[in-house]
Amino acid sequence: MIARLSHASIYVLDQESAYDFYVNKLGFKVHTDAPMGPDMRWLTITPPEQPDLEITLMPIKAGLMYDQETADALTTLVKKGTFGFGVFECKDIYATYEELKAKGVEFKKEPTEEFYGVEALFKDDSGNWFSLSQKKEAPQS
Amino acid sequence: MSSEAYPKVYLYRRVVQAKLYIDEHFSEKLDLDAISDEAYFSKYHFLRLFKKIYGKTPYQYLMSVRMDRAKILLEQGNSVSEVCFLVGHDSLTSFTGLFKRKTGLSPSQFQKQHQVRKADQAQTPLKYVPNCFAEFNGWTENSNFEEVQD
């Protein structure tokens, strides 16, 4: 039986720029930063309160995983904002939204009431987008 | 919904600005009363809202920022006494005691632990990479990465 998610990957256009975005703007922690040869680096980060979920910042590079044509196509799709990679939860979406906006993060959707809580959408420095959400508190029984 | 329309947007902006001010000026002798005055006309209301949003009082938040920054500076190889003063503490003894209470390790133990892990990542990076990714990238066939070490 599958129990939990330990690793997930995000395709990024520039690993160093993505490091700055996720660590310095979003406040994620670096989990592993291991050199994998002269021009490769295994870089994983974790959400501030989820230290055991490693998110790999995966640069798009032609190689064994895919050829140049695929890498070019993937780059184009990421730049176009094709991929929505997930949902990040926060305790106070209005404060988080104001803070990220002040740090220059681009939002596609401002905090909006939904049936499950409040949601906003933001883009990372590559073009990937994420939902930022605050769940509605469960009614007191 | 417009950002201007959500509840008490001006209050959020003031509290967030105060939080960002602490993030930037954590190493200075901060007058948290002054930050409260700057952020909102009622200190009591400001403190209550800050704690509601961040789960900590501004002072507790300042201490946590200093602790987080101290960890980064230690990981970067700065000496314990340098780090103590760089994050705004006056006393090495109280900084060391606080650090140990928060992390369970003394600053020097924390730094040593990080150095060991960093050296291990440089020497045997494949230990840290799920094999599927390593194989796809061809790293398992060229697992000697010694040439990239400092």
Q: Which of A38, A63, A97 sits opposite B147 (nearest CB)?
A: A38
Which residue is closest to B119 within chain A, CA to CA? A34
Task: Assign B11 a pLDDT band (cuts: 50, 70, 90).
Answer: confident
Cα–Cα distance, B66 to B81 (Å, whole number): 14
Q: Alpha-carbon distance A91 to A139, whole Å?
A: 17
d(CA B16, CA B11): 9
Beta carbon pairs, A and B, within 8 Å: 75
Q: Count the residues in chain B.
A: 150
∠ CA B147-B148-B150, rounded to 5°: 105
Exposure class string for B12-50: b at 16+ Cβ within 10 A, else e: bbbbbbbbebbbeebeeebebeebbeebbeeeeebbebb
Taking CB atoms and an 8 Å cutoff, what residues of chain A touch B139?
Answer: 36-37, 40
Scan for tokens 């040869």, then name that residue.
A37
| Segment A23-75, tens digit of pLDDT | 999 999 999 998 887 778 899 999 999 999 999 999 998 876 789 999 999 99
Confidence of residue B147 (pLDDT cuts 50, 70, 90): very low
- Which of the 8 DSSP states describes residue A24? I
Task: Please tell me the pTM assigned to this model.
Answer: 0.87
Which chain A residues are within 8 Å of B14, Cβ to Cβ? none
Long-range contact pairs involving A85-88 (C-beta distance under 8 Å, separation at least 24):
A85/A8, A85/A10, A85/A128, A85/A129, A85/A130, A86/A8, A86/A130, A86/A131, A87/A130, A87/A131, A87/A132, A87/A133, A88/A47, A88/A130, A88/A131, A88/A132, A88/A133
Residue A52 identity (one-letter amino acid):
D
Instruction: Say if strands A84-89 and A54-59 run parallel, antiparallel, or are unpaired.
Output: unpaired
Contact B16 A36 (CB under 8 A): no
- pLDDT tens track for A7-32: 999 999 999 999 999 999 999 999 99
Distance CA A116, CA B148 (A): 48
Contact B110, B74 (CB under 8 A): yes
pLDDT digits (tens, 9 = 90+) for A81-124: 999 989 999 999 999 999 999 999 999 999 999 999 999 999 99
Identify which of B115, B106, B61, B62 has the alpha carbon closest to the alpha carbon of residue B81: B106
Looking at residue A25, the DSSP 8-state letter turns out to be I
C-alpha triplet B11, B13, B18: angle, nearest 5°: 100
Q: Are A44 and A32 contacting, i.e. CB atoms less than 8 angstroms apart?
A: yes
Is the pLDDT assigned to residue A139 strictly greater than 80? no
Among B49, B136, B59, smallest CA distance to B98 is for B59
Number of Cβ within 10 Å of residue B61's Cβ equals 21
Res B39 pLDDT > 70: no
